[in-house]
Amino acid sequence: MKGKNVLAGLLICTLCAGFVGCGKTEEPQAQEPAVEETTEATTDSGSEADATEVEASSEALPAYEYPGPEYFYTVVYSYIVDEFGSQYSEGQVCIPSVHEVYLDDSDKSDIKFYGDFWVYNYNLEGDTLMTQSGGNHPGVMHLKSTDAEYEVTGFDAVADGNDFEPTAKEYFGKHYDDFMKVYSDSDTREKVRAQIIANYVAANNLSITKYQDYGWDPVELPEENIDSFYSQLD
């Protein structure tokens, strides 16, 4: 089961700015004319500055790759991009945001990664990543480890609507309260999201300085902290 929500202008309710509830969220219809207007404005302008902006925005963005040293998280982030990111309206780059609740690696044949897993698709406009679509997928990711390799073997997805609480309690068990703290902490979630974007920008030597959700002010990116944000997994 994969939760499905509608990305209604990327407005915050109980979650972070730009998304509602859990599961798949789709791009708002109102966003299409806004993007078209921006394209027309930059195309019609003859100024050198606007021409530069159009060129920068039309450049292909590098695919997201986890910049930390842990192969475990490389597999996790890749799974989120491939399995969840493809469920939404496509952008120039898909950047995940992982919010860990608990990692149980006591059984290497069934590692359980409890978390709230977000994914965002962006297009570049000038020096700003504009959110096109995205959503969250809370649940438990199952992985197995063999000879220093990791493979995702399944995902227990928390349901939507009236089934949210019972499925969350079923899957998270004794970690349910911790999950709800993570799930409802939009401030921390946005800080993590911004930092992951900043580290992506630094890792790829890009000139991006902000990201922006539809209907919200742009958010300045923090300084990159790749060396301290990611650490070797024991």
Q: For the residues 108-114, what does the mean pLDDT come to?
A: 98
Q: Residues near 103 by Cβ (< 8 Å), separated by ≥ 6? A: 111, 112, 113, 114
Q: Which amino acid would we find at residue 107?
A: D
For residue 11, what pLDDT is reported? Answer: 33
Residue 69 exposure: Cα atoms within 13 Å on the Cβ side: 8
Rounded alpha-carbon distances, angstroms, from residue 55 to 17, 64, 125, 127, 207: 29, 21, 10, 11, 13
For residue 213, what pLDDT is reported? Answer: 98
Return the SS3 of 138: strand
Length of the chain measured in residues: 234
Quote the CA–CA distance of 149 and 145 in Å, as a whole number. 6
Q: For the residues 199-210, what does the mean pLDDT come to?
A: 97
| Structural tokens at position 150 | 């990791």
For residue 134, what pLDDT is reported? Answer: 97
For residue 230, what pLDDT is reported? Answer: 80
> What share of the chain has pLDDT > 90, as a percent?
69
Q: Does 19 have pLDDT greater than 70? A: no
For residue 71, what pLDDT is reported? Answer: 93
Question: Per-residue confidence at 60, pLDDT binned at 50, 70, 90?
Answer: confident
- As a whole number, the mean pLDDT across the chain is 82
Lowest mean pLDDT among 49-63, 79-93, 158-172: 49-63
With left for phi above 0 and alpha for psi between -120 and 50, is residue 74 left, alpha or beta?
alpha
For residue 57, what pLDDT is reported? Answer: 55
How many other CB atoms are found less than 10 A from the CB of residue 223? 8
Q: For the residues 18-29, what does the mean pLDDT come to?
A: 44
For 115-156, the pLDDT digits (tens) are 999 999 999 999 999 999 999 999 999 999 988 799 999 999
**What letter would DSSP give residue 60?**
P
For residue 58, what pLDDT is reported? Answer: 54
For residue 30, what pLDDT is reported? Answer: 36
Ranges assigned E (strand) in 126-227: 128-146, 149-157, 210-212, 219-220
Return the SS3 of 167: helix
For residue 98, what pLDDT is reported? Answer: 97
> What share of the chain has pLDDT > 70, as a percent?
73
Q: Does 158 have pLDDT greater than 70? A: yes
Q: Could you tell me the sign of the dihedral formed by the alpha carbons of 154, 12, 36, 44, in that order? A: negative
Of the candidates 31, 91, 98, 96, the one whose C-alpha atom is nearest the C-alpha of residue 61 is: 91
Q: Which residues pair with 130 in a beta bridge?
A: 123, 212
pTM over 0.95: no
Lowest mean pLDDT among 8-17, 62-71, 125-134, 155-164: 8-17
| Structural tokens at position 91 | 């952008």
φ and ψ at 40, to 5 degrees?
-65, -40
Q: Which residues pair with 145 in a beta bridge?
A: 150
